Amino acid sequence: MPGADGIRAKGGQKLQLVVIWANNLVTNKPALELLQQQLKAIGVGLTLKEIPIAEFTAVQKAGDFDAAWGNLTRADPDLLRSQYSSAGPNFYHLPAGPLDALLAEQAATADPAKRADLVAQAQKLIVQNADLVPVVELTTVLGLSPKVHDLAFEASSRLQFHDTWKS
């Protein structure tokens, strides 16, 4: 039952979570503030703790948070192993378990179909265990003049200008 402030409590302990985040993207703060409002509507308190980007990894490694807001995109799904394996840096402080075996096996598998299946299994476990809660999908919208040629994106969706030219 929500208390007077709208936040649920059990045994005197409020349902209050701390999410750490770095303001490295202009959409982070508004998205988190919206999430904060939506969670409060169902009785969950969310404290937003902005961390300077230079300190984010150290705070994440120390584990002084309930959730970490972020995004990371790479062309290869082995990125999951670097983020969610307990054998790596383990910034999310995940326990060893079946996910580790799937992530290790996909990294060692050359068959694209088998690897895709292993990655899909790993993704399913990550979401089922709430190790990661997808909130938004980042998109890039780009408008170009017909005079701009050969502008490209690299595998992580960053703009590549080295071959770009203007007529």
In the prediction, which pLDDT does 73 show? 76
Give CATH for domain 1-71.
3.40.50
**CB within 8 A of 131, min separation 6: which ones?**
84, 92, 94, 99, 125
Residue 134: pLDDT above 90?
A: no
Instruction: Taking residues 56-81, report their average pLDDT.
Output: 87
pLDDT over 80 at 10, yes or no: yes
pTM: 0.73
User: Over pLDDT 70: what percentage of the chain?
Assistant: 100
Q: Rounded distance, CA 43 to CA 69, Å? A: 20
Neighbouring C-beta atoms of residue 111, cutoff 10 Å = 9
Mean pLDDT, residues 50-60 taken together: 91
Task: Using alpha carbons, select from 68, 73, 34, 39 the residue that is nearest to residue 51.
Answer: 68
